[in-house]
A and B are shown apart, each in its own frame.
Chain A
C-alpha cells in the first residue's frame, strides 16, 4: 500500500510570505502529526491531528497552524515566514491517536527554504 505522501517536496519562499504544505496519510490511518527538522534544533513536534481535531501541540508560535480533513489528509500553514522557518517539514501518520503504543509512518518531507 502507498506510504505517506507530502507535497510539494521542495519550496522556496521569501520572508513575510505564507506557505501551505500538504500531507496524505496511509490509507486507513486517522492520525497525522507534523514535525520540523533543522540542523540546530533537530526534530521537533509541531502538532497532531486526529479525527479532524488538534489533539496535541508543540512549542511553536501561532504562525504555525494546521488542519485535517474528513479524509484524514492534513495541511500545515506557516504565515509571515521568517528565515528561521527554513527546515525540513515531516508528516507522520498512524492508525490511532498518539504515538504511545502505535507505530508512526513518516513521509519524505517538504524542504522549505525562506530567502
Chain B
C-alpha cells in the first residue's frame, strides 16, 4: 500500500489559515486521499476526501497536486477547536487497504490564541 508522509507538528495562530501538507509519492491512480482529525480525548473525525480534483466542504479544503504525489489540507481560519492530530490516509479500491483506514502518526496542530 502507498504510504503518506506528514510533518510531526505545526503551529498556527487563531483566525489565520493553516496549510497541512501530505506527501504520497507512491500513490496509485485509484487511491483516494482522506483526511481525518482527532481532537483530544475524542475519536477521530472525518474532515474531507478526494480523488483528483480539489474539494471543498464546510470544514476545510483539499488541494491535490496535479501529479497527485502530494496534497494539502487547508483550514481557512483556524480556531482553538481545530487543535488536533490530523491524519492523511490513502485508501485503494483494489488493494489491501480497501475497507479500512490505516492511520500514520499524523500532524499535531497547535493553535495559539
Contacts and interface: CB of A to CB of B under 8 A. Distances in A.
Q: Which 6 pairs of residues, A with B, have the shortest CB-CB distance? A: A106-B43, A98-B99, A43-B103, A56-B99, A45-B100, A103-B46
A17 to B, nearest CB: 25
Contacts of B36: 104
Contact of B44 (A48, A55, A90, A100): A90
B74 to A, nearest CB: 19
A99 B101 CA distance: 7
A100 B43 contact: no
| Interface size range of chain A in the complex | 20 to 34
B34 interface: yes
A44 to B, nearest CB: 8
Contacts of B91: 98-100
A92 B43 contact: yes
Contacts of A90: 43-44
B43 A99 contact: no
A48 B43 contact: no
A66 interface: no
A109 interface: yes
A90 B87 CA distance: 16
A55 B49 CA distance: 22
A45 B93 contact: no
Contacts of A103: 46, 49
Give the interface centre of B42, B43, B104 by most chain A CB atoms within 10 Å: B43
Contacts of A105: 46
